[in-house]
Amino acid sequence: MKTVEVVAAIGLALAGCAASNDSSEASEEGLVTTNNAAAATPTNAQRAKLEQIAREYSTWRTAGMPGWANRMCRQPPPSAHRSETSADTPHGEKLFQLYARDRDAYLRHIDVPQPSGQVIVKETLHVVAVDPHLPIDEDELRRSGNTLAFKDNQRWIAGAPEELFVMLKGDESDPETDRGWMYATTSSDGRVVTSFGRVESCMSCHAKSPFDRVFGAPP
């Protein structure tokens, strides 16, 4: 994992993926559903699929360089590894990395619709500000699985994944989907599902894309 320099104002492939956190209720299995009428409760098979995606996505090729997560991209509470720092502060911002099961189709999103079976994952990483005068061994940092990033003349260290924002493409004629797309927000291991289905906040943003609900990789 190499050192990257990212900027705040970039296009997000999964920008705006935040589920409503009004009147949420946790089940005994850790599944959280919301009262968003457009959302759904995943079946056991769908939950198993999300867990499988969480296990496998890191083996896919990344779709573009890492970027800074949009403030709208937040999971509803609870989250498995949520930072105690408010997301409205720089310390609460997160770095994200995009992965696509079919990377070639994803990168050609302007020319071709995404195929059935496509899965896009936005992995978010909590970042911690680093003292600008503190020496950092970047090789050791990479060996530990962390990333050194830069923004607003500040150094940041990003660690392990905190949460995932997932898009799954199926049958476009299915009325239970958003033109074939299903959305989900999960914990980093996929075991806690905080929203699923036709998530209104995700749909309202992705509907703005003229390219099959996909915005493309950050520049």
Three-state helix/strand/coil letters over the chain: CCCEECCCCCCCCCCCCCCCCCCCEECCCCCEECCCCCECCCCHHHHHHHHHHHHHHHHCCECCCCEECCCCCCCCCCCCCCCCCCCCCHHHCEEEEEEECCHHHHHCCCCCCCCCCCEEEEEEEEEEEECCCCCCCHHHHHHCCCEEEEECCEEEEEEEEEEEEEEEECCCCCCCCECCEEEEEEECCCCCEEEEECCHHHHHHHCCCCCCCCCCCCC
Burial class (CB in 10 A: 0-12, 13-18, 19+), 88: exposed
User: Nearest Cα to 203, choosing from 76, 39, 41?
Assistant: 39
pLDDT reported for residue 19: 39
Whether the pLDDT of residue 207 is over 80: the answer is yes
pTM of the predicted model as reported, rounded to 2 decimal places:
0.69
Cβ-based neighbour number of residue 96 at 10 Å: 28
Whether the pLDDT of residue 100 is over 60: the answer is yes
pLDDT reported for residue 185: 94
- Asked if 19 contacts 34 with a C-beta cutoff of 8 angstroms, the reply is yes
pLDDT reported for residue 12: 34
Which residues, other chains included, contact 128 with Cβ-Cβ below 8 Å and sequence gap of 6+?
Answer: 91, 156, 157, 159
Q: Give me the mean pLDDT over the 61-65 stretch.
A: 70
HSE value, Cβ hemisphere, 13 Å, CA-based, for 76: 24
CATH fold for domain 30-206: Chalcone isomerase (3.50.70)
Q: Which residue has the tokens 């296990």?
A: 55
The residue ranges of every structural domain in the chain are 30-206
Q: Which range in 9-18, 22-31, 58-67, 201-210 is most confidently predicted, on average pLDDT?
A: 201-210
> Quick one: pLDDT band at residue 57, thresholds 50, 70, 90?
very high
Q: Give me the mean pLDDT over the 31-58 stretch.
A: 79
d(CA 55, CA 162): 14
Which residues, other chains included, contact 186 with Cβ-Cβ below 8 Å and sequence gap of 6+?
Answer: 50, 54, 163, 164, 166, 192, 193, 194
